[in-house]
């Protein structure tokens, strides 16, 4: 079930922090106490889990408590991540604050963002970004409209991306331009998870 996968993905998400601290797999939930940005990931994954449920009575049962839980997390972290966004396992928020990820946005494995990042649809163009695997988005960057971002891409701080970027690109500026093809860096994962062994 797609909804159950979200709970598995949550463990992989949290393991990005745990692995950096060399915390064993069994103690992954401890990072929820250490990093406030993990709360936004928890809120997103639980909301996505409920959103993907096929059994409507369960959706109605969870709606009210989940609504207040999400609002509480949004107030604490200043992050808004739509449950309609489709983000792969290994989702990582390096620094919290003013992150907005709109419904319809898609991202692959090991999607990493910093504070003040915006992903969403443009006012004139209906549609959202589609982002590949192992993409790192710098602080204050904006990815807007119907754009396709390849895998292993690094988007610099405060860049505005409104056009497609190829695999392994490093892009900076307003509008963002590719400056080289050295790709992203700094993504550390534990090969324990099956998504990394496929």
Residues carrying an active site annotation:
128
For residues 84 and 103, the answer to whether their CB atoms sit within 8 Å is: yes
In a domain, 61, yes or no: yes
Q: Is the pLDDT of residue 198 over 90?
A: no
User: pLDDT tens across 171-197, in order?
Assistant: 999 999 999 999 998 888 888 887 876
Q: For position 193, what pLDDT does the model report?
A: 86
- For the ranges 25-29, 70-74, 112-116, 176-180, the lowest mean pLDDT is seen at 25-29
Q: Give the residue numbers spanning the domain of 79.
A: 2-186
Residue 17 placed within a domain: yes
Task: Answer whether residue 179 is part of any domain.
Answer: yes
Residues 194, 196, 197, 198, CA torsion sign: positive
Answer yes or no: is 11 within a domain. yes
- Cα separation of 111 and 106, whole Å? 10
- Tally of domains within the chain: 1
Angle at 55 between CA 53 and CA 61, to 5 degrees: 90
Global confidence as pTM: 0.93
Is 165 within a domain? yes
Domain membership flag for residue 134: yes
Q: Whole-angstrom Cα distance, residue 105 to residue 113?
A: 14
Tens of pLDDT, residue by residue over 85-128, are 999 999 999 999 999 999 999 999 999 999 999 999 865 557 89
What's the CATH code of the domain at 50?
2.160.10.10
Query: How do 106-107 and 80-81 pair as beta strands?
Result: unpaired
- Report if residue 173 sits inside a domain: yes
Going by C-alpha positions, the residue among 15, 41, 18 that lies closest to residue 194 is 15
pLDDT tens per residue, range 127-173: 899 999 999 999 999 999 999 999 999 999 999 999 999 999 999 99
SS3 167: coil
- DSSP, collapsed to helix, strand or coil, labels residue 61 as helix
């Amino acid at each position: 079930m797609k909804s159950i996968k979200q709970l598995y993905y949550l463990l992989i998400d949290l393991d990005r922090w745990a692995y950096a601290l060399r915390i064993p797999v069994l103690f992954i939930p401890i990072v929820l106490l250490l990093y406030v940005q993990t709360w936004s990931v928890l809120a997103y994954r639980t909301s996505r889990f409920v959103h993907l449920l096929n059994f409507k009575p369960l959706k109605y049962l969870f709606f009210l408590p989940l609504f207040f839980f999400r609002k509480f997390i949004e107030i604490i972290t200043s992050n808004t991540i739509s449950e309609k966004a489709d983000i792969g396992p290994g989702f990582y928020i390096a620094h919290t604050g003013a992150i907005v990820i709109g419904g319809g946005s898609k991202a692959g494995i090991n999607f990493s963002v910093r504070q003040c990042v915006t992903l969403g649809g443009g006012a004139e163009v209906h549609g959202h970004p589609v982002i590949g695997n192992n993409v790192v988005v710098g602080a204050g960057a904006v990815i807007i409209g119907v754009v396709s971002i390849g895998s292993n891409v690094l988007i610099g701080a405060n860049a505005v991306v409104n056009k497609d970027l190829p695999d392994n690109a490093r892009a900076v500026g307003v509008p963002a331009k590719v400056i080289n093809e050295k790709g992203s860096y700094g993504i550390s994962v534990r090969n324990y998870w099956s998504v990394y062994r496929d």
